[in-house]
Amino acid sequence: MWAMLTLADARKRFGPIEALDGCSFSVDRGRMLGFLGPNGAGKTTAMRAVFGLVQLDGGEVLWDGRPVGLEERLRFGYMPEERGLYPRMPVGEQLAYFGQLHGLTADAARAAASGWLERLGLADRIGAKLEELSHGNQQRVQLAAALLHEPELLVLDEPFAGLDPVAVRTLAETLRGEAARGAAVLFSSHQLELVQDICEEVAIVDRGRVVAAGAVAELRRRSQRRQIALQLDGAPPQWLPDVPGVELVQRRNGDLRLVADSRVDPQQVLAEAERTARVVGFSYGPPSLAELFLELVGR
């Protein structure tokens, strides 16, 4: 069976820049995929390709195994990286317009618009022009424009950028709700802790191709490296455990952060430490998503 959205070997070149170089990934119904990568990795280009805003030089965008066309895109929701709505158009009318462009009837679009404004706490601003709203509220309207027609696929480019912690939590809940409703959710972000918290799956893209994809826990576990943190009391200043495959990342006071090959036995490191000083704290585990990201795309 096909995943809902599949990018298959997508290629796009802008002059000398290879924006997409055989980029492939997929998002399933009811799943949330975090799309990660350094600036210029090709995330926005890939997202635009889903909406036909970028004509691919090669490869395909598939929906249920078939090439995506305008009919399919009507059932998609999109929040572009560069936010933009009509500044002088009343908020309610504006949302209803986007709903209708997605194929809702005028009545259904109006009802959905007022429903979403209610949910976002903007019910009393339905007749206000967009430009009269605060920046944060404009962002909410932008989100509503993407969600209004209950899309089957939701694509959001950097939706968390510039949000305060409360707004981040609200948006994360909204997106989880959309996935629970059955939508496939794809979003890009640089906030890796956040992605680790709210996403089951990620795709990490670098230089136009996916370098890692899958469940976050699985990717972390599969890493060749392990993180070791040691808190020592009374260790010599330059002390390091004499275990092959262990490297120092950072030393501050008595705290050591080490990275080890996954085949290294942590007990061996702990035993070495106990021989030299009193061990106050010890932790061992797979790298965090942020560390994994740096490991994969760090230059």
Partner 1 sequence: MTGRRTITLVARREIRDRLRSRAFLYSTLLMLLLVGGSTALNSVVSREQSYRVAVTAPVPRGLDAALQRAATPFDANVRLHVLSSAAAGREQLDAKKVDALLLLRNDRLVFRANVDTKLAAVADTAVRALRRHLPPAPELTTATLRPPDVKTTDAATAVAYIGSLLLLMSLAVYGQWVLTSVVEEKSNRVVELILSTVRPRHLLAGKVIGIGLLGVAQLALVAGLASVLLAAGVFDAPASLGGSLALVVPWFALGFALYAVAYAAAGALASRQQDASSAGQAVTYTLLGAYFVSYVALSADSSGTFAHVLTVFPLTSPLVLPARSALVGVPLWEHALAVVLVLGSIDALVRLAGRVYAHGLLRSGSRLGLRTAWRLSHRP
Q: Choose between 51 and 239: whose C-beta lies nearer to partner 1.
A: 51
87 near partner 1, judged by CB under 8 A:
yes
Indicate which single residue of 12, 73, 110, 226 sits in contact with partner 1 (rule: CB under 8 A). 73
Looking at the Cβ atoms of 43 and 102, the one nearer to partner 1 is: 102
Q: Closest separation between CB of residue 89 and partner 1, Å?
A: 7
- Distance separating alpha carbons of residues 104 and 40, to the nearest angstrom: 36
Q: Please identify, using beta-carbon distances, which residue of 184 and 219 lies nearer to partner 1.
A: 184
- Contacting range for partner 1; rule: CB under 8 A; set: 87-95, 132-140, 175-183, 271-279: 87-95
8 Å CB contact between 192 and 45: no
Contact flags string 21-50 toward partner 1, x per CB under 8 A:
---------------------------x--
Is 150 a binding residue for partner 1 by CB under 8 A? The answer is no
Least distance CB 198 / partner 1 (angstroms): 24
Residue choice 88, 252, 263, 275 for contact with partner 1 (CB under 8 A): 88
Among 16, 82, 166, 267, the residue binding partner 1 under the rule CB under 8 A is: 82
Closer CB to partner 1, 78 or 160, in the complex? 78
**Count of residues in contact with partner 1, rule CB under 8 A:** 28
Candidates 12, 83, 220, 226; binder of partner 1 (CB under 8 A) is 83
C-beta of 143 vs 198, nearer to partner 1? 143
CB of 178 to partner 1, least distance (A): 17
Q: At what angle do helices 135-147 and 106-119 cross, to 10 degrees?
A: 140
Listing DSSP states for the chain in one string gives ---SEEEEEEEEEETTEEEEEEEEEEE-TT-EEEEE--TTSSHHHHHHHHTTSS--SEEEEEETTEE--HHHHTTEEEE-SS----TTSBHHHHHHHHHHHTT--HHHHHHHHHHHHHHTT-GGGTTSBGGGS-HHHHHHHHHHHHHTT--SEEEESSTTTT--HHHHHHHHHHHHHHHHHT-EEEEE-S-HHHHHHH-SEEEEEETTEEEEEEEHHHHHHH-SEEEEEEEEES--TT-----TTEEEEEEETTEEEEEEETTS-HHHHHHHHHHHSEEEEEEEEPPPHHHHHHHHH--
Q: Decide: is 126 part of the binding site for partner 1 (CB under 8 A).
A: no
271 binds partner 1 (CB under 8 A): no
Q: Is 84 among the residues that bind partner 1 (CB under 8 A)?
A: yes
Q: Rule CB under 8 A: say whether 86 interacts with partner 1.
A: yes
Q: How far is the CB of 73 from partner 1 (least distance, A)?
A: 6
Radius of gyration of the chain (CA): 23
Say whether residue 145 binds partner 1 (CB under 8 A): yes
**Nearest-angstrom CA–CA distance, 196 and 199:** 6
Q: Print the SS3 string covering 145-167.
A: HHHCCCCCEEEECCCCCCCCHHH
Considering the complex, state which of residue 80 and residue 245 has its C-beta at the smaller distance from partner 1. Answer: 80
**Which residues make up the interface to partner 1 (CB under 8 A)?**
48, 51-54, 70-71, 73-74, 76, 78, 80, 82-89, 93, 97-98, 100-103, 145
